[in-house]
């Protein structure tokens, strides 16, 4: 299933990561460290190409196990690597997953995350037959909160002390999406 998946909306392509994405991933992360590192535990000042390669190896393994589905986001017009989105913390018994996303700094603020996540939501409900997706974003992560709101996700509340990022304990907002929430387009 993995190799054949390509989610397209005319502007972006969302597809499983490939081993040859390491350099593009590394470049995008390095460009975005200032914006991502407060919210993404894996993103830090000393991020290395080795970490990109290890991430891509783990993506292949977790995809094969069905425990995570991670995707690269690419601009369909110029081929630029834009960021990533994925389904993780999958609870098979209850058909629930966490939905995460990030966009490189130079391409943020143009609706890329919202467009990519819309494609991924359709994949999650249509292909994987999930019943619920959760978005958990730190209360201070305005960009991620805005994406969840644009998607029409239901804000369910604040989870106190939900996230720990580099020894900082953060409250988070939990949003949910269920199949009936999908807008008919």
How far is Cα of residue 37 from the mean position of the Cα atoms in its chain?
15
**H or E element in which residue 118 lies:** helix 112-126
Query: How high is the pLDDT of residue 120?
Result: 97
What is the count of structural domains for the chain?
A: 1
| pLDDT score at 185 | 37
- Give the pLDDT score at 182: 77
The residue range of the domain holding 165 is 2-181
Write out pLDDT tens, residues 4-61: 799 999 899 999 999 899 999 999 999 999 999 999 999 999 999 999 999 999 998 9
Q: pLDDT tens for residues 98-150?
A: 999 999 999 999 999 999 999 999 999 999 999 999 999 999 999 999 999 99
Q: Which helix (H) or strand (E) holds 74?
A: strand 69-75
How far is Cα 171 from Cα 173, in angstroms, rounded to an integer?
7
- The CATH number covering residue 103 comes to 3.40.630.30
pLDDT score recorded for residue 6: 93
User: Band of the pLDDT at 156, cuts 50, 70, 90?
Assistant: very high
On the question of pLDDT at 183 being above 70, the answer is no
Enter the pTM of the model: 0.93
pLDDT value for 77:
93
């Amino acid at each position: 299933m993995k190799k054949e998946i390509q989610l397209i909306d005319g502007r972006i392509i969302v597809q499983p990561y490939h081993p040859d994405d390491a350099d593009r991933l590394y470049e995008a992360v390095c460009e975005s460290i200032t914006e991502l590192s407060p919210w993404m535990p894996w993103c830090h000042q000393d991020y290395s190409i080795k970490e990109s390669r290890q991430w891509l190896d783990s993506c292949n393994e977790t995809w094969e196990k069905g425990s995570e589905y991670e995707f690269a986001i690419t601009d369909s017009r110029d081929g630029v690597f834009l960021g990533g989105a994925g389904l993780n913390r999958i609870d098979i018994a209850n058909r629930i997953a966490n939905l995460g996303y990030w966009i490189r700094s130079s391409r943020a603020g143009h609706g890329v995350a919202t467009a990519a996540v819309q494609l991924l939501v359709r994949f999650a409900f249509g292909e994987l037959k999930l019943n619920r997706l959760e978005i958990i974003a730190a209360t201070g992560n305005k960009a991620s909160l805005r994406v969840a709101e644009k998607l029409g996700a239901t804000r369910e509340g604040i989870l106190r002390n939900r996230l720990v990022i580099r020894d900082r304990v953060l409250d988070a907002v939990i949003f949910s999406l269920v199949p009936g929430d999908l807008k008919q387009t």
